[in-house]
């Protein structure tokens, strides 16, 4: 299983700890994705790259039936601790076909902060299209190209694979940079229709907890999030 696809070992454990309360995950990406999800009561949802189970837990609380897949054994263990038997959780490499899922078997697929790690994105997008019901929703979030450009300091149009060092003693996060044009092009070419695109800001709850982070993250982009439909 490629080390650059899932967060293995110490990186998986570190990410699980950070994602629960960290500003980027807990106060920017997760609220934005759940807002895009809207009412999921009674729906069958596939959480691709479910990580530590935080999105799955929120979707379960909203009445969804959740299937979560994750390539990292460490993160899957955290997800099982969080969701228990309420969700169907399985270890699966997202570079491979979703052979456990039947055609048109999900109402919604959620892919939060995962797609930029994948080498065979076209393969995964074809699989998502296959397992979604006609009219089903596909939610995707990824790093904001402008944030990557500012951090790495080279061409905005770079599509290079990069390593983002987040903490001493923890392996870097490995991902491919994409422009907005490239991201949307791949999604539309896969047959999806774009419904909404957002550049999430931190939710107001962060200001009371960490006013400095709230002020900083309110004026610069972190992520892009989109909601699409299967034709």
9-230 classified as CATH 1.10.10.60: no
How confident is the prediction for the chain on average, in pLDDT?
Answer: 94
DSSP states of the chain:
--TTTS--HHHHHHHHHHHHH-HHIIIIIHHHHHHHH---TT-EEEEET-TTSHHHHHHHHTT-EEEEEES-HHHHHHHHHHHTTSSEEEE--TTS--TTS-TT-EEEEEEES-GGG-S-HHHHHHHHHHHEEEEEEEEEEEE-HHHHHHHH-S-TT---EEEE--STTSPPEEEE---HHHHHHHHHHTTEEEEEEE-PPPPTHHHHH-HHHHHHHTSS--EEEEEEEE-
Q: What pLDDT was estimated at residue 139?
A: 98
How confident is residue 31, by pLDDT bands cut at 50, 70 and 90? very high
What is the per-residue pLDDT across 185-219, written as a single tens digit (0 to 9) for each?
999 999 999 999 999 999 999 999 999 999 999 99
Q: What pLDDT was estimated at residue 3?
A: 42
Mean pLDDT of 176-185: 97
- Is residue 84 scored above 90 in pLDDT? no
How confident is residue 1, by pLDDT bands cut at 50, 70 and 90? very low
How confident is residue 17, by pLDDT bands cut at 50, 70 and 90? confident
Instruction: Please state the domain extents for the chain.
Output: 9-230
Mean pLDDT of 132-152: 97
- Is residue 2 scored above 80 in pLDDT? no
Mean pLDDT of 87-95: 96
């Amino acid at each position: 299983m490629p080390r650059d696809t899932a967060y293995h070992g110490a990186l998986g454990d570190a990410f699980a700890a950070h994602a629960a309360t960290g500003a980027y995950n807990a106060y920017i990406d997760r609220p934005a994705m759940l807002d895009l999800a809207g009412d999921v009561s009674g729906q069958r949802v596939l959480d691709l790259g479910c990580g530590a189970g935080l999105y799955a837990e929120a979707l379960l609380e909203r009445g969804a039936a959740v299937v979560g897949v994750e390539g990292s054994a460490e993160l899957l263990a955290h997800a099982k601790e969080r969701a228990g038997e309420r969700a169907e959780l399985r270890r699966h490499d997202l570079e491979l076909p979703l052979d456990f899922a039947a055609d048109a078997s999900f109402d919604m697929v959620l892919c939060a902060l995962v797609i930029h790690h994948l080498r065979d994105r076209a393969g995964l997008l074809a699989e998502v299209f296959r397992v979604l019901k006609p009219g089903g929703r596909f939610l995707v979030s990824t790093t904001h190209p402008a944030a990557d450009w500012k951090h790495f300091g080279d061409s905005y149009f770079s599509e290079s694979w990069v390593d983002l060092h987040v903490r001493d003693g923890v392996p870097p996060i490995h991902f491919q940079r994409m422009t907005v044009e490239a991201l949307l092009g791949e999604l539309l070419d896969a047959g999806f229709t774009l419904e909404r695109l957002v550049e999430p800001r931190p939710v107001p709850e962060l200001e009371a907890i960490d006013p400095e982070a709230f002020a900083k993250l309110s004026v610069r982009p972190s992520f892009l999030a989109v909601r699409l439909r299967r034709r």
